[in-house]
Structure 1
Amino acid sequence: YRVAQKDNARRQLLDFLATHKGDAGIVYCLSRKKVDVTADFLCQHGVKALPYHAGMDAAKRSGNQRRFLREDGIVIVATIAFGMGIDKPDVRFVAHMDLPKSIEGYYQETGRAGRDGDPADAWLCYGLGDVVMLQKMIDGGEASDERRWLERRKLDTLLGYCESTRCRRQVLLASFDEIYPRDCGNCDNCLEPVQTWDATNAARKALSCVYRSGQRFGAAHLIDILRGGNTERIVQFGHQQLSTFGIGQDIDARQWKGVFRQLVAMGLLEVDSEGYGGLRLTDASRPVLKGEKTVFLRQESERVRPKSTRSGSGAVATVAMAAADAPVFEALRSLRAELAREQNLPAYVIFHDATLREMAAQRPRTLGELGRINGVGLSKLERYGPQVLAALQDAEAA
């Protein structure tokens, strides 16, 4: 599990997918339009990506789903309509381009990766804009007050997960009253322990800026005020005259984005979803403004390419495969894809990736040796054995 602050999300997604070359995966977007735009963007950058959403032609949609199930290395870009009833065990990653609507939805969607028991990645990219959009969706709907309250609590729980400094798996399972007894050792917080900082003064500056500017502006404009920007809007509203103008120049804009995002997640600011999505104070803001409460926040990390807990199978095998075995594994994947096309079957029905990796490592030379590989039963041995042995021999000779 990994959570990234949204900052050029499509480029961040490409960096993440670079760790999953040749892998099958799912990219979730909140809107149909974003699904189409993201799928086109990925295709332009060499990723085999297909869109999936309810607004598509039914034949095209089902065709894309069929390709995802039966071909190797397909990335499906979808709304949450995709996934129910999908049985593809070798999905190596699930990526979220937007904040999901609830912790329950996130857990269900990320659970579609790694069903074959091999390691898989769950990557989420989110920013304050996602929170604004979701809160406006919640408050702008026709649901009852009780239902809206419940949806806000679900969103708050997800925000708490995103901003947590603890093991992601522990926090996620705790949301469902489950106990994970130890750190998972695989999430971003475990692999790269989070640095926190005393952000009390920064929080007071941010909250004061919200108040003095009238509690009706978004984070981008507030950051411009704090950093002393010379923008058209600042001049238009006379905000260069505010006492908070320029008092935050010691913090860069990216760090300020993190401050505002976390203040919203902590309930120290809220989104005016009935207006234009500006930020306003809450009852919890008062003790901070009066200096009665300290605030510690996550230190925003530098822009770095995301690290995967595993390697992309397009270049190296999924689980610590020896370099010499990788070409053999790819040759076996090619054979599997050919057999799947001939028989009109999903590739994983022929052999799972784990079985192919064991073949690449063991290099069986006889049907008897091949039959001792996990996942090779008698019927598969009879049907595919000679072709597998031939592929292994050709790969070793190459």
Structure 2
Amino acid sequence: MAVCGTEMSSQHAFYYVVDERLEPVAFALACHLVRTWRLDVHIFVEGGATSAKRRAAVPGVYYHENELSCLLPDGVPSSEKWPRIVYLRIFAPRFLKQYERVIYLDADLLPIRRDDRIWSLPLPHGLAATHDFEVTHDSPLPEMSRTEWLASIGVHAPQYLNSGVLVIDVAAWLELDFAALLQDYVAAHANGMRMFDQDFLNAVFQERWSGLSPSWNFQACLFSVGIDDAFPPIFLHFSKPDKPWMGRFREGVDDLDNWGYQYLSKAARRAGVDMNGLLSPKKINVLSRLKYDFRRHISGLGYRPSKERKLRGEVALRRENLIAYLADVKARGGFADRREYEIPSSFREAVFDGKTLRLPAGGQFNDLLMMVELVEDMA
């Protein structure tokens, strides 16, 4: 399998940390990254049988098998949603010392476009990330205010990063003894931890990480808000239960769930990866289907059922909070990668499908979907 072009940077790289189940997804995305960014991509596979033999022939994609789990201290808390593997992204840079800067990516992010300015962006504290927009004004725990929740995990700064995209200065990162820091943190805050490695990183780097614009980690909570024109996604993050490899989307609504599935399918096909084993479309019984279709029908007639009114109220509040957040960041000098930007004054409206709101993907996304084929054909 050939790599697009011959110029490959030896200073920068991407990396994934996945289990055996998501290794095919990471491999498909890695192949696309190698072609579009012309950089090495490292895939750390933990807890499964070796996959290196069947993947080793791909230039620019490098495998690491079960190298990280032994570095994780005993007794760290985890959950079904946040298993122990989430901590391992923290330790991977010690195996990437040959690079000046690396970017960690969750496997549920789709690489949409390339922006090389990230490699020269100043990182005074060795880390850049995007704010977690799910908790811009809210707490993930209904029994606690946002301030109380942050205090319970040892975070006094108002900003809370999302660990799905981490831009790391390798030398600065390796100066920290993360195993010892993690042990100390768990001893003090284990009872409050809910997002585990993310809580830990926010405590360690509070007020010492460079904040990137939403473009770098365009999270699922932003899908229905309609700010993709103001902040065109570089990495589109399906940070929600429905992942792009599951095939969970509403036929006839060209939203990001539908678009993301088509995008990943094309990338997987080009990489020779079979994603069928990961498909898990939701099964909807007849009564539920009739209920959803009825709601959608009366919504189309101009009457909004209570479910739709509730969802649109939540989107309106999310927009209000987002606008306030963007205004606050702008007043403080802007994002590390983008000092000037216009706060949207109007938004595209989402379509109610009878169950949820789905924002039709903008024209730029359809253009990008075509670019996947164009870029891969040039490889």
Task: Give me the TM-score of the superposition, normalised by structure 2.
Answer: 0.28
Greater fraction of residues in strand: 2
Task: Give me the TM-score of the superposition, normalised by structure 1.
Answer: 0.27
